[in-house]
Amino acid sequence: MERITVGVVGALGKMGQEVVRAVLATEEMELVAAVDIMGVGEEICKYVGGDCQLKVEQDLNQMLEDKNPQVVVDFTRPHDVFANAKIILEHGTRPVVGTTGLDPDQIEELDSLAKAKGVGGLIAPNFAIGAVLMMQFAKIAGRHFPSVEIIELHHDKKLDAPSGTAIKTAEMIVEGRRGPATSAMGELEKIQGVRGGQFEGIHIHSIRMPGFVAHQEVIFGLPGQTLTIRHDSIDRESFMPGVLLAIRKVLTAQGIVYGLEHFL
């Protein structure tokens, strides 16, 4: 059986290490590269356990030229992800991007580049299957509840706010909406920003605190009733089935796919 060759960028981050472990444990995949700015020259298995000779590299360009993986998974930082994705695509390699922070114009540019190179890629705000279903359920509920707010809760090391999942959820609710959003009338914020940010009339609240991994609830309201849809990732292992699914499915994708739901 021909194995899928995979590189991981941000391999020593918490998510990166989970991806490395998942790929190493998957018979149909072969980890051929681990890229990070930390631990350069050290064996990746020193950090993730197991027995492997693969050493951490720092230069993404050089890795792509030397190893030529079929797929590269990126879990890095918001200010690095766009440049990384461009480099990966320019080498004709397929990116699976879990780093959030890309704006619509950047996604469009990456899509154009992917099509020009004749390859596909995935940008996913969330790889947890339950989170993807949460977003789908919220889209359905949004057709019937014009009043909605989103609360997302993450660990205190997450740099961007709101999360990509919250933005994607709001986009899907707006896409499926039958009428305009409604919100409280005559609001007076005694503390500026206390009502959170807004996306197309949807209030989004971000919490950053030790003890959380990734959590989100979408609260809908109508007279006399509320509906809450919530998803909790209590361990980063929850994202790995989605990452492995993406690695498999991205091999046949054309252009940039935005959202894991398109691969389910």
The pLDDT tens digits along the chain (264 residues) read 689 999 999 999 999 999 999 999 999 999 999 999 999 999 999 999 988 889 999 999 999 999 999 999 999 999 999 999 999 999 999 999 999 889 999 999 999 999 999 999 999 999 999 999 999 999 999 999 999 999 999 999 998 899 999 999 999 999 988 777 676 666 778 888 888 999 999 999 999 999 999 999 999 999 999 999 999 999 999 999 999 999 999 999 999 999 999 998
Beta bridge partners of 74: 9, 97
Nearest to 12 by CA among 41, 30, 35, 33: 35
CB 171 within 8 Å of CB 108: no
Residue 190's CB is within 10 A of a number of other CB atoms, namely 5
Q: Is 91 a catalytic residue?
A: no
Residue 103's CB is within 10 A of a number of other CB atoms, namely 10
Rounded to whole angstroms, how far apart are CA atoms 99 and 76?
Answer: 6
Backbone angles phi, psi at 100, to 5 degrees: -95, 165
CATH architecture type of domain 129-233: 2-Layer Sandwich (3.30)
What's the order of all strands across the beta sheet hosting 197-199?
197-199, 202-208, 147-154, 214-222, 225-233
Residue 214, judged by CB atoms within 10 A of its CB (0-12, 13-18, 19+), counts as: buried
Can you give the residue ranges of every domain in the chain?
4-123+237-263, 129-233
Longest dimension (CA), the chain: 64
Active-site option among 139, 154, 168, 231: 154
Q: Which CATH class for the 4-123+237-263 domain?
A: alpha beta
Active-site option among 115, 117, 158, 249: 158
Tell me, yes or no, if the pTM score tops 0.95. Answer: no
Q: Is 154 a catalytic residue?
A: yes
Nearest to 176 by CA among 205, 149, 136: 136
